[in-house]
Structure 1
Amino acid sequence: MTEKRAAAQDIPETAGASREPSAGRWNRNFRLFFVARTVAVFGDGMVPVALAAGLLGAGRPGSSVGYALAAWIGPFAVLVLFGGVLADRFTPRRMMILADGLRLVGASVLAVSFAAGDPSVWVVYGLSAVSGVGAALFQPGVASTVPRIAHDVQRANAVLRVCEALMTMAGPAFAGLVVGLSGGAGAVFAANAATFAVSGICLFLLRLPPAGEPVERGSLLAELVDGWREFTSRSWLWGVIAIWTVYGLTVAGPMLPLTAVLVTETHGSGTYGVLMAVNGAGSAAGGLLAMRLRPTRPLAAGAVALLGVVVNLLVLGLDLSVPALGAGQFAGGAAFAFWLVMWSTTVQTHVPPDALNRLHAYDVSGSLLMMAAGRALAGPVAEAVGAGRVLLAGVVVMLGVVGVMLGVRPIRELRRVG
């Protein structure tokens, strides 16, 4: 379907060569994209609080909240691959604007439904699914937009990561405050809808340079297959993601629910909330560190940083004191944020523009599915052997993940571009 590209080789490529972002990190396009991402992540953080307040407040069982969140994540995991193809075909900016429009409609209808009374759970599930479709259309375009709006891709990713960490903390806190003041979920969903409106307007105002030479397009299926070829042609890329599927299933998936259970049962929900805020602060610190450090081998440096996640798993598994748990959460948040900046920057600078959206979609889809499976299995396995043992087993797995990434030559020796 397509011609062979230099991108199909395991050699560093300057994907940014065809892009001409405006000078300066805080140019007009970057400011608009920064605001769009900031308000969108802030809005996403409100959703679990709003769903819990609305459904539980209406007398629905706790399982209904889980089903509503599953109705979001299901379409997202399934359709994100097609979102990558559509972003390549119709441009990421258009797909992200469409996605914000879909999510604006979904959140607005939820706001009206909860404000008017007690909506059917099936209405809530359906509108959550609409938001999941919107997220699937939006997410692939994020990866390819950053290199087109910033000369310094690593610092741009770090700035965005710091902002996302702060908004991840602020979103739920704001939602809780609104629920307390208004007494319902309708006002939270109205605020959530407003964030998508602001994001869509900012993206509409973007003026992006061409992403490169026009590429001949085939059918959706043909482009999915071509994206798979691009994906498997880079041993460092598929190697990291293959390792990450193990991490998602055995560490990242179980860690969140087991942390919530262990900390809440032993120290109370207030302590859990504080620890999650500490984790967010650690993420911000990791992003700030990624602004300063520019390792020659970014994936190797990111792998070493992931030892901070080992510290977090260890203090959780051993059920240490609250200060130790706080130190572990900070270390884990900082480590993971630093890794994400190294990984995102590597992908964005080594993959050509015409394949980036599809490859990012494969990455997101695989990681999300494995983490979802890990979360589903965490409860039954923890009941059988104990949550602490599952987390301590995660220490061994995490050490193996770091060791394998440092041991695989294409991953360890991949050099920074630019």
Structure 2
Amino acid sequence: MTDKPTDMPANKPTGKPSEHYSYKSEVREPIPAPVAAPALWNRNFRLFFVARAAAVFGEGMVPVALAAGLLGAGYPDSSVGYALGSWIGPFALFVVFGGVLADRFTARRMMILADVLRLPGAAVLAVSFATGGPPLWAVYALSAVSGVCAALFQPGVASTIPRIAPDVQRANAVLRVVESLMTMAGPAVAGLLVALSGAGAAFGVNGATFAVSALCLALMRIPAAPGDAAVRGSLRAEMAVGWREFRARSWLWGVIAIWTVYGLTVAGPMVPLTATLVTGDHGSAVYGTLMAVNGAGSAVGGLLALRLRPRRPLAAGAVALLGLPVNLLLLGSGVSVALLGVGQFLGGAAFAFWLVMWSTSVQTHVPQDALNRMHAYDVAGSLLMMAAGRALAGPVAEAVGAERVLLAGAGIAVLVVVALLVVRPIRTLPRV
């Protein structure tokens, strides 16, 4: 008997097994068919995409509508700043409570409630500006209410994405692109509406965007998470638990601590000083164009984040942030409008890419039942320092010059990148 049959196919038994021939070795296991990855554009994500697009579009209309309405009614220039400040103050103060409430009652419910509560205020402003102009106290009060509602809404954005999107980074990138586009479109449409029909029409459309957002969120069907049915403690206890979760992640609080310095010294002063310098040297039309270029850069940064998947997302995002000091250097050096546009494009792309890497890291590394509170701490810390930076930008610029403040900010921005890369938990945080 030979070691291998010669008269038969190798996969057919001869009835005379040998030590070198095994029936078992010839059995072919069925190869499982490849399983398609879940589609990003499922029903929930489509609805959330429309909700975010509508909300960001409506928010972008507010500064233009407020400025046109208040100045058109004969109020002083300072009233516009006070009205916007009436929004940002309550938002920064209440956003941490919004995170706790979103974890307690689910993010979707809080976002719907926030949109519904903002509808009457937008309607009142629309009618008031259409009929001659509301009293200042009413504008400030309604702006404050809108800020509180935004604080209830914002924490839920972070926790909703990982529950509806099979690919969190891709979802963040797609949303960043559309938010960048809506940030450009909102002020442009508001300016057109003000020119054609007055500030009341702009606030009317602003209210409609809240209705669209609330309707889309109400139509979503998000499966319950294990933490949704958990017994919750008091509001104070929930905040304490959130703080412990926050402190337990050195990469999380490390980034936020570094970012508070950035917000105070770089991001905060950059916005008002850019507006002052560019408008003073080149006019408001050039400033508007450069802001559109910045928005286009943000869209490109989102598209890059859609394609690139670094193994160390925070490290990659930190390297991308080097585009921001380039923008600041150009702003502080008195270069041509073309170079200013290059800087704005790089700055917008750099920040958008970092934001996607940061948001994805938080949403994939933080437990779902604490995510709203973590996001709220992030927003509160960053926003408060940015607000302080904006408030201090004017007096400091008057003392030393706006150009020097921007150039100093460029140096600090480089140090921020170095700090993000030096801190090991931040640099080595892996992609999930």
State yes or no: 1:97 paired with 2:112.
Answer: yes
Deviation at 1:41, TM superposition (A): 0.2
Deviation at 1:274, TM superposition (A): 0.4
Deviation at 1:118, TM superposition (A): 2.1
Deviation at 1:143, TM superposition (A): 0.3
Aligned letter for 1:210?
A
- What residue is the counterpart of 1:195 in the other structure? 209
> 1:86-133 CA deviation, whole Å, 9 max, x = no partner?
001100000000000111111111111111222100011111111111
User: Which of 158, 162, 166 is residue 173 of structure 2 equivalent to?
Assistant: 158
SS in 2 for 1:78: helix
Q: TM-score, normalised by structure 2?
A: 0.91
Deviation at 1:343, TM superposition (A): 0.2
State yes or no: 1:259 paired with 2:266.
Answer: no
In structure 2, distance between residues paired with 1:362 and 1:206: 26
Aligned letter for 1:364?
V
Q: TM-score, normalised by structure 1?
A: 0.94
State yes or no: 1:211 paired with 2:222.
Answer: no
Deviation at 1:215, TM superposition (A): 2.8
Aligned letter for 2:415?
G
- What residue is the counterpart of 2:412 in the other structure? 397
In structure 1, distance between residues paired with 2:345 and 2:269: 18
> 1:223-281 CA deviation, whole Å, 9 max, x = no partner?
11111111010000000000000000000000000000000111111100000000000
- What residue is the counterpart of 1:315 in the other structure? 330
Structure possessing the higher radius of gyration over alpha carbons:
2
Tell whether the 8 Å contact from 1:245 to 1:366 is kept in structure 2 after alignment: yes
Tell whether the 8 Å contact from 1:212 to 1:353 is kept in structure 2 after alignment: no
Aligned letter for 1:408?
V
SS in 2 for 1:151: coil
Aligned letter for 1:97?
I
SS in 1 for 2:134: coil
State yes or no: 1:247 paired with 2:267.
Answer: no
In structure 2, distance between residues paired with 1:407 and 1:349: 22
Tell whether the 8 Å contact from 1:215 to 1:354 is kept in structure 2 after alignment: no
Aligned letter for 2:225?
A
User: Which of 376, 380, 400 is residue 361 of structure 1 equivalent to?
Assistant: 376
State yes or no: 1:179 paired with 2:194.
Answer: yes
| Most deviating of 208-217 and 281-290 | 208-217
In structure 1, distance between residues paired with 2:204 and 2:280: 33
State yes or no: 1:58 paired with 2:58.
Answer: no
In structure 2, distance between residues paired with 1:97 and 1:105: 14
In structure 1, distance between residues paired with 2:265 and 2:135: 36
In structure 1, distance between residues paired with 2:271 and 2:225: 38
> 1:51-87 CA deviation, whole Å, 9 max, x = no partner?
0011000110000001100111111000000000000
Higher relative contact order (CA 8 A, sep 6+): 1
RMSD value, Cα: 0.8
Q: How many residues align?
A: 395
Deviation at 1:192, TM superposition (A): 0.2
Q: Sequence identity, in percent?
A: 77
- What residue is the counterpart of 1:4 in the other structure? none
State yes or no: 1:277 paired with 2:292.
Answer: yes
In structure 1, distance between residues paired with 2:119 and 2:300: 32
In structure 2, distance between residues paired with 1:54 and 1:325: 31
In structure 2, distance between residues paired with 1:215 and 1:223: 12
In structure 2, distance between residues paired with 1:355 and 1:289: 29
- What residue is the counterpart of 1:10 in the other structure? none
> 1:287-333 CA deviation, whole Å, 9 max, x = no partner?
00000000000000000000000110110011111111000000000
Gaps of 5+ in 2: 1-36
- What residue is the counterpart of 2:236 in the other structure? 221
SS in 1 for 2:226: coil
Deviation at 1:166, TM superposition (A): 0.3
State yes or no: 1:334 paired with 2:349.
Answer: yes
User: Which of 314, 317, 324 is residue 302 of structure 1 equivalent to?
Assistant: 317
In structure 1, distance between residues paired with 2:95 and 2:248: 21
In structure 2, distance between residues paired with 1:196 and 1:349: 28
- What residue is the counterpart of 1:123 in the other structure? 138
Deviation at 1:366, TM superposition (A): 0.5
Deviation at 1:23, TM superposition (A): 2.8
Deviation at 1:209, TM superposition (A): 1.1
Aligned letter for 2:177?
V
Aligned letter for 1:197?
A
In structure 1, distance between residues paired with 2:230 and 2:245: 14
SS in 2 for 1:80: helix
Gaps of 5+ in 1: 1-21
